[in-house]
């Protein structure tokens, strides 16, 4: 029996895509990821952010392609190093470039969702110690204020910080991302300061907009943590790791009350510091001896990540119960170089939203186009659109055509299953 059956999208759900500035723009040597890529062994294949997708100069072509694919919601990033190339020096020309890009989106009927920070820092900020310093909060607020002041006539949706836990863990625990440290205490310090950045900027943006409609949140990287076996110790370990990785920072950033190990006070007062629940969901983790282990016999993507669509339902229901608000899936996608199972991945996760009647208002597929995928360089394609990095040729994948048909028809039909899903899936 074919596991794929037709279904309709909820009327309230809109489908879009997401990117990050440092991963697609190219041409910028003034950011922490370009500097990191200059050291041999940091990036697979020796790739750098300098090439990426050349989106900085090709954004009109990319947005035209996006529009042709029927995409009407686009989450994208502002590159801090372009806006504030030196401390206290703001580049009006760069700001106007982003305004032009956003105006082009609007002309195509694409609704922008602006991300203010997505892993990449200007070099001056990185050299000062980035988010390890208490002063980083003031630095970030000045940058965020400049951007939002210049976009308030064009945009009404903002993500303050993308995946603060991933930024802290990879950069300060594992040391595989800049600045390459291995200190748990430094990671928690960074997570605390990122929390304060979000709390302040949430308030700052609302004060700037006044009575004008604006929605502000953060993109929260969420995993499902389970015990590797029925061992009760593993179950306890899974709960501890889930709290340290995502539970504490989620509660702190959404409520304003810092939770252990980030603190125990409410620096700005307790309240509601979110207008939507942003969830980046990709996988689940099995825990044993406070480490992550692969469950045998599981479907996995090209990076070895467990494909577990049911986890999206689990996380959405858990968060919506604790923090009632519309849910925006700010990232969801998979690494699939041959495009063998991406369509099935999209189908499975959208069907979770439809079947379980989740309170999901927006879904942003990660990503629009193959890009510079951080430490994986150009080797990990997540895109609906294939990019030939040498020629910069764009080609819509079959999964991209499938996604377009879902957007256009607002459903998955028998004929779509026959064309895109038959014999596929993991």
Q: Is residue 1, in this structure, part of any structural domain at all?
A: no
Residue 425 has pLDDT above 80, yes or no: no
Q: Is residue 2, in this structure, part of any structural domain at all?
A: no
8 Å CB contact between 34 and 48: yes
Q: What is the mean pLDDT of residues 324-350?
A: 98
Domain count, the chain: 1
Work out the percent of the chain whose per-residue pLDDT is above 70: 99
Query: In this structure, what CATH number is given to the domain that contains residue 320?
Result: 3.20.20.80
* pTM of the predicted model as reported, rounded to 2 decimal places: 0.97
Q: Is residue 213, in this structure, part of any structural domain at all?
A: yes
Q: Is residue 266, in this structure, part of any structural domain at all?
A: yes
For 287-324, b/e burial (b = at least 16 CB within 10 A) is beeeeeeeeeeeebbbeebbbbbebbbbbbeebbeebe
Q: Is residue 304, in this structure, part of any structural domain at all?
A: yes
Q: What is the mean pLDDT of residues 104-111?
A: 98
Residue 1 has pLDDT above 50, yes or no: no
CB half-sphere exposure, 145, CA atoms < 13 A = 13
Tens-place pLDDT, residues 267-283: 999 999 999 999 999 99
Please report the DSSP string for 156-171 in residue order: -EEEEEE-HHHHHHHH
Domain extent, residue 261, equals 7-421
Q: Is residue 295, in this structure, part of any structural domain at all?
A: yes
Q: Is residue 426, in this structure, part of any structural domain at all?
A: no
Q: Is residue 263, in this structure, part of any structural domain at all?
A: yes
């Amino acid at each position: 029996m074919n596991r794929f059956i037709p279904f309709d999208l909820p009327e309230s759900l809109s489908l879009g895509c997401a990117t990050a500035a440092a991963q697609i723009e190219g041409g910028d040597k003034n950011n922490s990821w370009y500097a990191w890529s200059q050291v041999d062994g940091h990036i697979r294949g020796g790739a750098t952010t300098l090439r990426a997708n050349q989106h900085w100069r090709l954004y009109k072509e990319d947005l035209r392609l996006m529009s042709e694919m029927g995409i009407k919601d686009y989450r994208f990033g502002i590159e801090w190093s372009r806006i504030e190339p030196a401390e206290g020096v703001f580049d009006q020309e760069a700001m106007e470039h982003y305004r032009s890009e956003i105006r082009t989106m609007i002309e195509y009927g694409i609704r922008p969702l602006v991300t203010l920070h997505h892993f990449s820092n200007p070099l001056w900020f990185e050299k000062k110690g980035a988010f390890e310093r208490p002063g980083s909060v003031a630095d970030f607020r000045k940058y965020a204020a400049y951007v939002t002041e210049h976009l308030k006539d064009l945009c009404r949706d903002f993500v303050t910080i993308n995946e603060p836990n991933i930024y802290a863990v990879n950069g300060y625990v594992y040391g595989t991302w800049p600045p390459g440290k291995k200190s748990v205490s430094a990671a928690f310090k960074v997570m605390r300061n990122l929390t304060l950045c979000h709390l302040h900027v949430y308030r700052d943006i609302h004060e700037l907009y006044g009575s004008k409609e604006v929605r502000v949140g953060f993109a929260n990287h969420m995993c499902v943590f389970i015990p590797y076996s029925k061992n009760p110790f593993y179950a306890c370990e899974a709960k501890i790791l889930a709290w340290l990785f995502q539970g504490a920072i989620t509660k702190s950033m959404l409520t304003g009350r810092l939770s252990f190990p980030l603190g125990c006070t409410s620096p700005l007062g307790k309240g509601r510091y979110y207008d939507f629940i942003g969830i980046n969901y990709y996988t689940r983790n099995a825990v044993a001896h406070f480490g992550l282990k692969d469950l045998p016999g599981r479907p996995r993507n090209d990076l070895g990540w467990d494909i577990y669509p049911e986890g999206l339902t689990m996380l959405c229901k858990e968060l919506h119960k604790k923090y009632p608000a519309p849910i925006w899936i700010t990232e969801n996608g998979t690494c699939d170089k041959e495009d063998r199972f991406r369509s099935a991945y999209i189908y499975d996760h959208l069907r979770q939203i439809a079947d379980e009647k989740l309170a999901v208002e927006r879904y942003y597929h990660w990503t629009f186009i193959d890009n510079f995928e951080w430490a994986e360089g150009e080797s990990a394609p997540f895109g609906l659109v294939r990019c030939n990095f040498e020629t910069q040729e764009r080609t819509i994948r079959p999964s991209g055509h499938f996604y377009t048909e879902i957007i256009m028809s607002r459903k998955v039909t028998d004929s779509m299953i026959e064309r895109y899903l038959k014999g596929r899936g993991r």
